[in-house]
Every structure is written in structure tokens, then in C-alpha cells.
A and B are shown apart, each in its own frame.
Chain A
Amino acid sequence: MFPSSNEPLTGATNVAPVGRGGWIGRLPRLRLGEVLGVAPFIIFAVMFLVLPPFYLFGLAFTDKAGQFTLQNIVDLGQPLIVSAFWISILISAASALIGAVVGLFIALAVIRGNLPGWIRAVVTTFSGVASNFAGIPLAFAFISTVGRLGILTILLRTVFHIDIYRSGFNLFTFSGLTLIYCYFQIPLTILLITPAIDGLKREWSEAAETLGAKPWQFWTYVGIPVLWPNLLGTLSLLFANAFGAVATAYALTGTSINIITLQLYAQIRGDALQNPGLGAAIALAMVAIAAFANVIYLIVRTRAERWLK
């Protein structure tokens, strides 16, 4: 360890003396360096993360002539927009919940289920891949699976004599989209929750067993409370992830179905709503909803952590 004391180093001629004055003498120069080091980040964040939402905030209150108006916010109450928001929230919540629960079970199975060691590595890598497989290719994959000519559809029809399309199944329904979104929500959960499960020491469950606790008691009093904050964070992340997704739904239907991201896309590209201010209001509401999910998480987490302490 280099001495940070006042003694000057001996023998080195080209080194500034690390005396009492030396460090203080160098401080101003470091300060400039600090600023220069952090500045690109701050400038970038302001330009590309902070300004856009603020600008849209302003645009949401502007009408087509450029005057201040609250009409766009009022227009958010149109049945079309409301149902678009509602269905988006439902799909996001459903896929987040299912993704979190299923992901939790799979992660628990892989980490604590005493499965062969190679399974964990494969599952981790695959989760990384699958969570990035969202978007356009995912739509293609599901069309190949449960599309009209998909392998599963044909299997169900020829072997089990169930024609899912005759009974009205489609990929761009609530159930279809939730099914597809789970494909990247579940792996994302696995990735996010693994560190927390790793933190559940084996000693704890063994101690609980020694004390006579049944597995469900362990989980109710120790396991879930420890995982709870991480689970909540995962849930809110999953919700925001699904809420903002555009590509998969677009690849499936174009801008035809009524989910809010596609409405916004159609407005940006083709002025489908014939009102850029309304588009900005939609964008603002989307950010508000996603932020709200995060705020709930933060509140519940602070409460949970207080309890944990």
C-alpha cells in the first residue's frame, strides 16, 4: 500500500513530493478533471433522456395552432384511447405477473432443486438470449408455432381434432399477446431474481428444518420476505418492459389492433389521430403509468425493508 502519510518518498526524483501541500496543491486540477469526466454523461443524459419527456410535456398542452390547451388531456378520455391504455395495462400486468411467478419457480427449481450442475449454466445463458429475443423475430417464431399453419396448430388439429382457429383463437388477442410476451418476461425474471435466490443461504433452510419447520413455513416466514423486494422490483420492471413494447405487436398486425403503443406509433408515423398534441399526451400518460409502477415498487420496498430490519 502506498503511504498516504506526509513523508516524502525518497529516491524517486521525478515524483512530486507527497507532502501536506502536495495533495491539496493538486486538488483544483482534479476537480476540473472530475467535471470533465462526468460532464459527457450529464450532457448526454440531459439531451437524450431528460429533455425529450419535458418537451413532450410541453407539446401535450399545445394545440395545432400552437396555443396552450387542456383539450389534449381531455381527449385522452376518448373511448378509443382509454380502451387502448386499458388493454395495454392488462397485458403488461398479466405478462409481468405470469412472468414473475413462472420465472420464480423455474429459478427456484434450477438453483435449489438439486438438478445437475450444467442445467443452471444453460438456463442462465438461454435466459440472456431469450430476454433479448423480443421484438420482430419473436412474432415470427410464434406465427410458426401457433399461426394458422404453425406446427402446434396442425398438431392439435390432426392428432387432437381441436381446430383452435375455428374457435376464434388468434395471436393478437389478449391471451395471445400475453402468451408471447411471457417468452421474454420469464427469462428476464430468471436473470433478475437469481442473485436474490442465491442469497437465500442453504444454512437457513437447513436450520429451519432442524427446528421442525415444514417447507411452506420456511417459505412463508423466511424465503418470501427475503425475496420480496427483489420480486417487486422485477415486477415493476417487467410491467414497464411489456407496456412499452412495440415491435412484436407491430410485426403481428401492423397498426391495426388497439394497444396504446401502436396508437402512438400510428400517430407519429401517419398522424392517424390527426393531432400531434394528443400523441404527446399519450406519450406522457405512458411515462406516468410506467413511473407509477416504479413508485409503487419503491414504496412497498421501503416498507418491506423496514419490516426486514
Chain B
Amino acid sequence: MRRGKPWAWLVFVLGALYFMLPLVATIQFALSIRRGTYSLDAFTNVLYDAHFQESFVYSFIIGLCAIVVGVLIVAPAAYFVRLRLPRLRPIIEFLTLLPLVIPAIVLVFGYIRLYNTSSFINLTGSALGTDILLTFAYVALALPYMYRAVDTGLRTIDVQTLTEAANILGANTPTILFKVIFPNIIVALLSGAFLTLAIVIGEFTIASLLNRPAFGVYMQNVGANRAYEPAALAIISFIFTWVAMGMIQLLARFAPKTAPS
């Protein structure tokens, strides 16, 4: 094993500095809420704040809904495209790339205009309707990642064989999908789920323009009104994202590496 090249070490160390410094600075800032001494007051203020708890729970629940809806929309489509409708693949892939080209603020501007009280589908007319709209907006944001995760998952299992086998045993399509395919791509689904959750928890633009009490909106409010608590919030948010990403890494170990022959 050759020793690490010096330029590689240099690049790595410089990169580590650039990325670590803000994190260290944030922790230090969060601990400085009391003049002249370090204390955890900023963290306790945040964690015991009722608004923090409410908004975090709200965003978490919306995230879960976005995951479920996302899976239900993406997985059957990816399955059928892979199995029976390869001609549709370019169209589907183009659609999944749209959220990367159309900024979230443009999307939500369109939603507010399209789905308000004066249109045929009224979603902003009630709290529940707006929550539904918010969920679909997040499904749209997470679509590229969810689709790629599911597609990768389907690629590593032999979809054709599984489907034929299940068909022969008399299963109908929903059964195949939910009882045969899903359990086999559960790791990919969970990866997509954690990524969606990470996106939803901190999201600000859509939630604030739809006036929902989401976590991102709460964070921005704290950022304008309190000096030290935002740093504590940033650390909490970072830890949460780290856990979500760490779960994905963990799951990657359990993913089937190659299609069974």
C-alpha cells in the first residue's frame, strides 16, 4: 500500500479546514449565549421552545407523508417502465429532471396561482388542502432522488424473473408490486425516504410562501429575532441531517450488490 501522496493530503487538509471551521464556529457561538462563559442555554432554550417542538413535528409528519406519496407514485412507474414500457423511459426521466431545472420558488408561485380558491382544484382554501399541496410540492422536490434510488434498486434485482414467477403463481399486479418487488427494494426505498426527509425538514421557500408552520420557517424566524439560538438550531439541524445520511450509508451495506442469476 503506497503512502498517501503529499498533494492529496494537502488538498484533504485544506478542504477539511474549510468545512470544519464553520461547524466549530457555530458550536462555539451557540455556547456563548451567556456573557463571558460557556453554557448550554441556547440549546435548552431551543429544545424547550413549544414552537420548536410543534414545527419540527409538523415538518416530520409532512416528510413522512411526502415519503409515502413519493414511493406510491414513483415505484410503480419505475417498475412498469423497467418491465414493460421501456419506450416511456426517456419521458419519465425528463420529468424527474424537471425539479432540478425549475427552482422551487417558481414551482410554488405556480401552485399558489393554480390551486387557489378561484381555480377548479382548490387546495389553498383550507389548512388541510394547503398541507396536501405542501406534501405534493415536497414530493416534486425529492422526485429526482427518489426516482434514481428506486431505479437503482430495481436494477439490482431481476425484476423480470420475479414478476414472471409471481405471475405464474397467480399473483395479480398489486400483489406483485407490494408483496414481491417492494420487499426486495426496501433498502433503495429507505434511502430515498431518508433523503426526502432531509430535504423536507429544512425546507424554507415553499413552506413560507404557503404560510405553513414548518421547521424551516421557524428557524428563519428565530434567526431574525434571537442572536444565539440560531446557532444552536443550526447544530441541531446538522446533527439531524447527519443521522439521516448516516442511515443511508448504513443501509447501503445491506443493499443487494448484484442481480441474482
Contacts and interface: CB of A to CB of B under 8 A. Distances in A.
Interface of A: 1-2, 4, 9, 14-16, 18, 26, 30, 33-34, 36-38, 40-42, 44-45, 47-53, 55-56, 59, 102, 105-106, 108-110, 112-116, 119, 121, 123-126, 128-130, 132-145, 149-152, 182-183, 186-187, 237, 240-241, 243-247, 250-251, 254, 261, 264-265, 268-269, 279-280, 283, 286-287, 290-291, 294
A114 B1 contact: yes
Interface majority SS on A: helix, strand, loop or mixed? helix
Interface residues of B, number: 93
Given A140-B26, A145-B22, A133 B238 contact: yes
15 contacts: A30-B84, A33-B173, A34-B80, A37-B76, A109-B7, A110-B12, A129-B238, A140-B233, A140-B234, A144-B25, A144-B30, A246-B205, A247-B205, A251-B219, A287-B106
Given A135-B203, A144-B26, A38 B81 contact: yes
Interface in B150-172: 161, 164-165, 167-170, 172
Given A132-B245, A140-B230, A48 B202 contact: no
B257 interface: no
A137 B102 contact: no
Nearest to A58: B113
A59 B112 CA distance: 13
Interface of B is mostly: helix
Nearest to B30: A144
Contacts of A18: 168
Contact of A34 (B21, B85, B220): B85
A294 B28 CA distance: 41
Contacts of B234: 136-138, 140-141, 144
A38 B233 CA distance: 40
Contact of B204 (A116, A135, A291): A135
Given A2-B165, A144-B29, A237-B100, A49 B140 contact: yes
B106 A52 contact: yes
Nearest to A279: B109
Interface string B223-240: 110000011011001100
Contact of A264 (B9, B72, B109): B109
A42 B81 CA distance: 12
B189 interface: no
Name which of B18, B74, B172 has the most chain A CB atoms within 10 A of its CB. B18
Contacts of A187: 19
B53 to A, nearest CB: 18
A63 to B, nearest CB: 15
